[in-house]
Each structure stands twice: as C-alpha cells, then as structure tokens.
Amino acid sequence: MQKHIVVSSPKSAVKVKTVVTPRGLALWLVESYAVPLVSLEFAIRGGSAQDPTDKAGLGMLLAGLLDEGAGELDAQAFQRALDEKAIEISFHSDRDAMSGRMRTLTKNLDRAAELLRLAINQPRFDEEPFIRVRENANARLRHDANDPGSMAAKAWKAHAFAGHPYGQPTDGALDTLALIERADLAAAAKRLLARDQLVVAVVGAIDEKSAGELVDRAFADLPAKADLKPVAAAPFAGLGKIDAIPLDVPQSTIRFGRPGLMRDDPDYIASVVAAHVLGGSGNMTSRLFREVREKRGLAYTVFGNFYAYDHGAYYYGGTTTKNERARESFDVASHEIRDVALKGLSEEELEKGKTYLIGSYPLRFDTSVKIAAQLVHIQLEGRSPEWLVERNVEIAAVSGESLKRAAERAFGDGSLYTTVVGKPEGF
C-alpha cells in the first residue's frame, strides 16, 4: 500500500510516495519530470558513534574510500567511469549514520546504478588511495590544530560528552588515524553496511518500478543485519564551568551550550522555536544578534541552536570577538539565554519566529538534491511522510504557554558549559 503526502508552497509541491521494492526494501519517491535527472540519497544508521575509541575517524575514512575503487575498477578507473557519464557519487559519515548521494542524467541511470552498487558492495580499499585519503585527513587535522573555531568546538564536545562516542571527533585525530589499517575498513564495511539500517529517497524523472529496481540493484545484496555496538544515552558534563584554551590571537572564540530536549519529547518543537528566536543561525533578528552585534557591536556573528542526535540532544552556540570584549559578549549572551528560560518570549517574537520557520520550510525542497536529502533526514529521525505536513502544524500550534514550559525545561537556570580559545580578558 502506498501513501501520497504533499508539502506545498505557492511555487512548488512535493508528493512523496512510499514504495516497497520487489526484494522488500523501502524507499520514499518523488517523481519530477521537469529535467531528465535522478537524485538518490541514502543513509545507513551507525556513523562515527560506532568508531572504536582508539580508532576515531574510522567511519570518516570508510566513507572517503567507498568511491576510490570498487569491483574490478581501481581508484582512477572508478573516477574515470564517473566522469565519462557525468555521474556524481559521494559518501559522508556523521555522528549517527553514514550517508551517500548519487545524481545522474536518466540516460546514464543504468551505469550510475552499477557504479553505486559496486561502491557499496565491493569497495577495494587499495593501498594508494587509503594512504592518500588518510594523509588528506591528517592535513586537515594539522590545519585545524591552530584554527580557533575548530579547537573550541572539539574541546567543547570532548568535555561535554566525555567518555561517550559523541565526545570523539568524527574526523579522528592524528594518533587514532595512524592506528587504522585497511583491514579495519573492510571489517567496518562488513559490520556496518546492511539493509536493516538503510533509508533511501529517490527524486527525479523516474517511475515507481524503475526506482524500485534501482534501489534493489544498489542495496539488496547487502547483509540483512548490521552488527552495531550499543550506544548509551549521552551524558552532559561541565554545566557552569568555563575552560579557557590559550592561543596568541587578537580575538577570542567562544562556544557554549547545555543539554537539550530529545526529538520525541512533546516540548521539542516549542524548544526549537525558542532557540530560533533566541539565536538561530542566519536569523538576523534573533535576540543574540540584536543584543551582541546590533546594540553593542561586540561581534560580527553570534548563533545558538538545538541539535538532536539519536542518543543525546544539546543547545550549542557561540561567537568570536575581541579579546578585551570576550567576557562582555559572553555575559550578554548568557543573560539572554536566562531571560528566555525565565520569561519565554513576547507574543510578537513568538509569532515572527513561527512565521519564519513555517514559511522557510518549502525552501528545503526547491531542488531534487535538497528534496532527497530532506526525505532521508526525516526517515533517520524516525518520522513518517506525514511529517512534511505535521511539522508546520506543530509549529503553528506552539503557544506562549507551551513555549515558556519548553524554554524552562530546555534552558533550565541558564547555566552553560563554555570553552574559550584565545587570550580572553575577564574570564
């Protein structure tokens, strides 16, 4: 049985079909024949949370090597095969899943499907690309070692989630990457890449029958079940603590945060509205932007958002400012967080925030690539296609009372765990 769900805006409409393939795999399909393109997005639950502690970065290397040779094609031959047909295939590892993307003209769909099948089912992990990809990762790590933003973010997560996989850097470290061998990659692929953890979305000029055949061809030969290690609920450490990391630079980079509400919490959506009004990324009318930048000129940018993973959720924000104004910037941001926790939002702030979050949602669906990515994201969150409609309905239903309750729960007393990199004055 198929369900057809539509999310629409004045300029577009997305109709999602849930399809079961001949070999029993599920996919979400959006047919669109405006251009002769097909985009396939998938994710397999697991991600860097499955990395061994002493081999952090294993998932990142695995994703980076899947398109570096497969089957009878070595790395150069595989990339040449992609270029010959203008096929795009890429892979990425996140905290809770490894994801991939394929994009091709419909006339090259058969070749694209075969290359994707090879990459997923028969990766080679040859010596030359393994050394090259790992060295590229090492080069990024050496660069990030002196980048204030990277230093602050990694130190913040390492302390906030100490002893948990979320505290490990997804891209690993120089010493952990050095311990990873090619055999580790083959073992990880065998253990993690499986059908029971797979979610797929297909968007473009393709019908249900062809989409089912495409998904079966790429994924149906994977093992039935992944061998995932259990991941505990993420703790959160350091509330009220400030860690300063000295670095001889003219500006201080500040990162702060606290525990948040999980996606299945009844107050989650209201907390998302509160976070957007408080300091949502790109929200130039947010409280933090107004108080930190516009009124006081303390920083060029400031942000704060909730992030919900499978095993933990948190509020995370920050700014970069002159060393001599670092404490003032932090105090202003902290004051606004506490104020929202204690008082909620004004009616005007609430309505503007809801209007933006609802009105901007269709912009996530204005290209085939974006649509496919959003559909996979929704599936990873454990939601049904109805969420395309229900999401905005739930946002519209947020009241001043429900938001105040959510803000009180999410922000508590406003205490934060904070990391500052630079030569900050006043800490």
Neighbours of 304 (CB within 10 A): 25
Range 179-210 burial, b when 16+ CB lie within 10 A, else e: ebebebbeebbeebbbbebbbbbbbbbbebeb
Q: Which two tokens stand for residue 387?
A: 């969420």
Query: Mean pLDDT over residues 403-426, rounded?
Result: 96
Q: Which two tokens stand for residue 227?
A: 């061998």
Verify that 249 and 182 share a domain, yes or no: no
Q: Is 67's pLDDT higher than 80? A: yes
pLDDT given at position 237: 97
Query: Mean pLDDT over residues 395-406, rounded?
Result: 97
What type of residue is 387?
W
Q: Rounded to whole angstroms, how far apart are CA atoms 379 and 269? A: 17
pLDDT given at position 13: 66
Q: Is 406's pLDDT higher than 90? A: yes
Neighbours of 28 (CB within 10 A): 26
Domain encompassing residue 123 = 4-219
β-strand 198-204 against 26-31: which pairing, if any? parallel
Q: What is the pTM of this model?
A: 0.93
Q: How many structural domains compose the chain?
A: 2
Verify that 331 and 397 share a domain, yes or no: yes
Query: Mean pLDDT over residues 270-293, rounded?
Result: 89
Q: Rounded to whole angstroms, how far apart are CA atoms 237 and 156? A: 10
pLDDT given at position 265: 97
Q: Is residue 224 part of a domain?
A: no
Q: In what order do the strands lie in the sheet with 242-246?
A: 242-246, 417-422, 251-259, 313-322, 299-308
CB 59 within 8 A of CB 46: yes
Strand partners, 93: 98
Q: Is residue 227 part of a domain?
A: no
Residue with tokens 């994710």, as numbered in its chain: 43
Verify that 317 and 246 share a domain, yes or no: yes
Verify that 335 and 392 share a domain, yes or no: yes
pLDDT band at 14; cut points 50, 70, 90: confident
* 327-339 pLDDT tens trace: 999 999 999 999 9
Neighbours of 348 (CB within 10 A): 8
Picking from 59, 55, 66, 58, the residue whose alpha carbon sits closest to that of residue 125 is: 66
Q: Is residue 300 part of a domain?
A: yes
Picking from 83, 5, 3, 9, the residue whose alpha carbon sits closest to that of residue 359 is: 9
Neighbours of 272 (CB within 10 A): 25
Q: Rounded to whole angstroms, how far apart are CA atoms 80 and 82? A: 5
Q: Is residue 356 part of a domain?
A: yes
Q: Is residue 324 part of a domain?
A: yes
Q: Which two tokens stand for residue 237?
A: 């450490």
Query: Mean pLDDT over residues 286-314, rounded?
Result: 94
Long-range (24+ apart) CB contacts under 8 A made by 373-377 are: 373/41, 373/101, 373/201, 375/16, 375/28, 375/30, 375/41, 375/201, 375/203, 376/41, 376/42, 376/43, 376/99, 376/199, 376/200, 376/201
Q: Is residue 427 part of a domain?
A: no
Query: Mean pLDDT over residues 87-116, rounded?
Result: 98
Helices (H), 239-286: 268-279
Verify that 336 and 392 share a domain, yes or no: yes
Here the CATH number for the domain that contains residue 171 is 3.30.830.10
Verify that 157 and 248 share a domain, yes or no: no
Verify that 205 and 61 share a domain, yes or no: yes
Strand partners, 43: 99, 199
Verify that 213 and 283 share a domain, yes or no: no
Q: Is residue 236 part of a domain?
A: no
Determine the distance from the C-alpha atom of residue 1 to the mean position of all C-alpha atoms in its chain, rounded to a whole number: 31
Verify that 9 and 89 share a domain, yes or no: yes
pLDDT given at position 6: 55
For residue 147, give Cα distances in angstroms to 135, 150, 324, 401: 19, 5, 20, 42
CB 112 within 8 A of CB 102: yes
* 211-244 pLDDT tens trace: 999 999 999 999 999 999 999 999 999 999 999 9
CB 283 within 8 A of CB 293: no
Query: What average pLDDT is seen over the chain?
Result: 95
Is 279 in a helix, a strand, or coil? helix
Verify that 397 and 254 share a domain, yes or no: yes
Q: Is residue 75 part of a domain?
A: yes
Asked which of 157, 186, 219 is the last residue of a domain, the reply is 219
Q: Is 316's pLDDT higher than 90? A: yes
For residue 66, give Cα distances in angstroms to 93, 186, 328: 11, 11, 47
